[in-house]
Amino acid sequence: MIRNLGRKFRCRKLENARGILIDMIKKADSSCSKAIENMIESKEIDVNEKCTEREGLSIFLAACLSGNKELIRYTLHKKGDIWSTTNSGDPPFYLATHGILTSSVLDLSVLNELLEAGCHINSCNAFGYTALHRAAAVGNMQVIDWLLEHNANPSIMNARGILPCDSAFINSHFEASEKLRLSAKNYDRWITAKNIKSSKKNTLERFPIDIKMDENILMERNASGDNNESMAY
């Protein structure tokens, strides 16, 4: 992969090269890290310049999305902008959380790198989703526990009034939903959950929602799934 993309990289103009490099980084594992770093150095590419053809991803943001600790560390050393976002408003910490959740090996130290660099654990994207929403939607208890231990706020609602516990519940992750429900402090009222087709349907009798949401909206969200619309990279 490195050889083939390397040839393309050398023959393209800088903007095209940046897009190709971003595509490489999104799928990069640790074995590719050094080759990618060498390409960045050889072309003197700004790790913060966004690529309009790649949803506003920069080299730094793509490194976060990859969940690759070596590349995240390298781009931070190259002054990666921790306040930058994609076109959908996805911040570095949110992207990195998605990255480790989809990686073959779960490496929570990736998130430590970004916290130590000054990233905010509760930063949200344009739709109001936080890293905790992302982990809740997947139902990964290890990541959820880590985020809560590092002061992720389970009471933050997204733009549709969905709490992290709601994200977990809608996606049938009932253990995660219950843990997050007990951690949340700002739910306003409860309704009886209906039509949950699961062997665990009786493990959670009530479902927290924002007071502005009605039951029809909740059931519509349950049918479609609480997926973050912005993760289209």
Bigger pLDDT: 192 vs 28: 28
Using the predicted structure, report yes or no on whether residue 63 has a pLDDT greater than 50: yes
In this prediction, residue 25 carries a pLDDT of: 85
- Cβ atoms of residues 66 and 23 within 8 Å: no
Share above pLDDT 70 across residues of the chain, in percent, rounded to a whole number: 70
List phi, psi (to 5°) of 209.
Answer: -140, 165
Phi and psi based region of residue 213 (left: phi greater than 0; alpha: psi -120 to 50; beta: remaining): beta
Q: Work out the pLDDT band at 21, boundaries 50, 70, 90.
A: confident
Using the predicted structure, report yes or no on whether residue 187 has a pLDDT greater than 90: no
Q: Is residue 36 part of a domain?
A: no
Q: Work out the pLDDT band at 207, boundaries 50, 70, 90.
A: very low
Structural domains of the chain, count: 1
Q: Is residue 83 part of a domain?
A: no
In this prediction, residue 26 carries a pLDDT of: 81
Q: Is residue 100 part of a domain?
A: no
The residue segments making up the domain with residue 154 are 121-233
Q: Work out the pLDDT band at 174, boundaries 50, 70, 90.
A: very high
Cα–Cα distance measured from residue 151 to residue 97, given in angstroms and rounded to the nearest whole number: 15
In this prediction, residue 112 carries a pLDDT of: 96
Using the predicted structure, report yes or no on whether residue 233 has a pLDDT greater than 80: no
Q: Is residue 60 part of a domain?
A: no
Cα–Cα distance measured from residue 73 to residue 95, given in angstroms and rounded to the nearest whole number: 15
Per DSSP, 202 falls in state G
What is the token pair recorded at 47?
């790790």
Average of per-residue pLDDT across 50-75: 91
In this prediction, residue 19 carries a pLDDT of: 81
Cα–Cα distance measured from residue 222 to residue 179, given in angstroms and rounded to the nearest whole number: 19
Q: Is residue 21 part of a domain?
A: no
- 3-class secondary structure for the chain? CHHHHHHHHHHCCHHHHHHHHHHHHHCCCHHHHHHHHHHHHHHCCCCCCCEHHHCCECHHHHHHHHCCHHHHHHHHHCCCCCCCCCCCCCCHHHHHHHHHHCCCCCCCHHHHHHHHHCCCCCCCCCCCCCHHHHHHHHCCHHHHHHHHHCCCCCCCCCCCCCCHHHHHHHCCCHHHHHHHHHHCCCCCEEEECCCCCCCCHHHCCEEEECCCCCHHHHHHHHHHCCCCCCCCC
What residue type is assigned to position 92 of the chain?
Answer: P
Q: Is residue 61 part of a domain?
A: no
The sign one gets for the Cα dihedral 167, 172, 173, 175 is positive
Least confident of 20-29, 39-48, 207-216: 207-216
Q: Which tens digit of pLDDT belongs to each residue from 87-109?
A: 999 999 999 999 999 988 899 99
Q: Is residue 66 part of a domain?
A: no
Bigger pLDDT: 218 vs 210: 218
pTM to 2 decimals? 0.76
Average of per-residue pLDDT across 161-187: 90
- Cβ atoms of residues 186 and 155 within 8 Å: yes
Using the predicted structure, report yes or no on whether residue 202 has a pLDDT greater than 70: no
- Cβ atoms of residues 89 and 57 within 8 Å: no
- Cβ atoms of residues 124 and 132 within 8 Å: no
List phi, psi (to 5°) of 207.
Answer: -130, 125
- What is the CATH classification number for the domain harbouring 230? 1.25.40.20
Share above pLDDT 90 across residues of the chain, in percent, rounded to a whole number: 54
Q: Is residue 134 part of a domain?
A: yes
In this prediction, residue 14 carries a pLDDT of: 60
Average pLDDT score over the chain: 79
